[in-house]
């Protein structure tokens, strides 16, 4: 069982998660070419998910139900291509299975379901998974275990009242083993979050509800790791990490664009997107 959360960060580690995230983005582009997917949403949270699965969570792809594992719940289910891609890169299932994207013969489709190895809970209807995470986190507390529960939420998803019920109850139950990550890409469907139902000051909101809050750059692995390490940060308080991100990050031509939400790529676009990814990867190196 890896206990990567406890190891010190090394340069080689940084390289590996970055290259993993780059390869994962290539998988997502392939899925967008196989019938389409929510590529913009996937690319705003893919670095967060890569960081969790490489550097933060205790996981073992060979032992999916390992009792000591950390849990990850993707509450913004439409971003699931990012999760499929990272699970493949971490060895939860074979890369070839991604070729079945949207084929009726497999369960690799637009929202996560438990037929995919490594997916702990289905999602797709927003505002559900934080509550599920609380249930799991409470069970862990009752069993006096040290597993942690990571729940990734969209910022638009915070419109749903059910999320705020969970935020209050998590504090009431003192679930310091719960880590909610907000993918703060500042967009929901086709609108900026702040022009629809403003969320700011978001950190203050979580803090006012008794949570321990950190902010980070959701595309900078050093910043992400600092935010995650070590969690829990404060005893008895649930943890919120507001990760500042950009929709479509990694492909300059769609980054932060309103219409870069769901995209179905033709062959030409797919190749262009891959070229753009390669270019930003080369530049970053």
Partner 1 sequence: MEVIARPHAKNLVRWAKDRPEVLVLSADLTSSCEANDFRDAYPERFFSLGLAEQNMMGFAAGLAREGFIPLVHTFAVFICRRAFDQVAMSIGYSNLKVRLLGFLPGITTPGGATHQAIDDVGLMRLIPNMNILECADATEVESVLDVAQALEGPVYMRMLRGDVPRLFPQDEPMRFNRARVISEGYDLTLLSSGICTEEALRVTCALRQRDIHINHLHISTLKPFSDPNVLNALKAARKGVVTLENHNVIGGLGSAVAELMAEAGIRGPLVRLGIKDQYAHGASRPYLMRKFGLDAAALLEAVSGLLGRGVRIRTEDLPQDLPGVSSKASIKAEDL
Return residues touching partner 1 (CB under 8 A).
35-36, 38, 77-78, 102, 104, 107, 109-111, 113, 122-127, 156-157, 159-161, 188-191, 196-197, 261-264
Residue closer to partner 1 by CB (options 94, 198) is 198
Residue closer to partner 1 by CB (options 22, 261) is 261
Residue closer to partner 1 by CB (options 118, 156) is 156
CB 223 within 8 A of CB 216: yes
Residue closer to partner 1 by CB (options 165, 215) is 165
CA distances in angstroms from 116 to 58, 96, 105, 131, 180, listed in the order given: 19, 13, 13, 21, 22
| Size of the chain, expressed as the number of residues it contains | 285
The DSSP call for residue 155 is S
Rounded to a whole number of angstroms, the minimum distance from the CB of residue 128 to partner 1 is: 9
| Buried b or exposed e, range 138-155, using 16+ CB within 10 angstroms | bebbeeeeebbbbbbbbb
Strands (E), 12-170: 71-74, 149-154
Rounded to a whole number of angstroms, the minimum distance from the CB of residue 107 to partner 1 is: 7
Rounded to a whole number of angstroms, the minimum distance from the CB of residue 111 to partner 1 is: 5
Rounded to a whole number of angstroms, the minimum distance from the CB of residue 180 to partner 1 is: 17
Rounded to a whole number of angstroms, the minimum distance from the CB of residue 78 to partner 1 is: 7
Rounded to a whole number of angstroms, the minimum distance from the CB of residue 211 to partner 1 is: 21
Residue closer to partner 1 by CB (options 172, 191) is 191
Residue closer to partner 1 by CB (options 68, 200) is 200
Residue 110 pairs in a beta bridge with: none
Tell me, letter by letter, the H, E, C secondary structure of 162-214. Answer: HHHHHHHHHHHCCCCCEEEEEEECCEECCEEHHHHCCCCCHHHHHHHCCCEEE
């Amino acid at each position: 069982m890896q206990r990567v959360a406890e190891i010190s960060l090394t340069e080689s580690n940084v390289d590996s998660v970055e290259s993993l995230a780059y390869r994962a983005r290539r998988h997502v582009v392939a899925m967008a070419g196989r019938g389409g997917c929510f590529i913009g949403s996937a690319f705003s949270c893919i670095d967060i998910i890569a960081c969790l699965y490489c550097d933060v969570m205790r996981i073992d792809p060979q032992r999916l139900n390992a009792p000591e594992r950390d849990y990850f719940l993707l509450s913004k289910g439409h971003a699931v291509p990012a999760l499929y891609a990272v699970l493949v890169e971490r060895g939860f299932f074979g890369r070839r299975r991604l070729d079945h994207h949207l084929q009726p013969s497999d369960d690799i489709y637009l929202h996560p379901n438990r037929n995919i190895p490594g997916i702990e809970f289905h999602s797709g209807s927003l505002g559900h998974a934080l509550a599920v995470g609380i249930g799991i986190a409470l069970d862990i507390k009752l069993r006096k275990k040290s597993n942690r529960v990571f729940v990734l939420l969209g910022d638009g998803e915070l419109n749903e009242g059910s999320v705020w019920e969970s935020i209050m109850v998590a504090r009431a139950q003192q679930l310091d083993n719960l880590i909610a990550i907000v993918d703060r890409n500042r967009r929901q469907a086709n609108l900026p979050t702040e022009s629809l139902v403003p969320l700011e000051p978001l950190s203050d909101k979580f803090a006012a509800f008794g949570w321990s809050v950190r902010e980070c750059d959701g595309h900078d692995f050093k910043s992400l790791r600092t935010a995650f390490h070590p969690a829990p940060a404060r005893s008895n308080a649930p943890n919120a990490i507001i990760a500042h991100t950009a929709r479509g990050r990694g492909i300059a031509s769609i980054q932060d664009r309103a219409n870069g939400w769901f995209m179905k790529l033709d062959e030409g676009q797919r190749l262009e997107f891959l070229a753009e990814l390669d270019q930003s990867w080369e530049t970053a190196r």
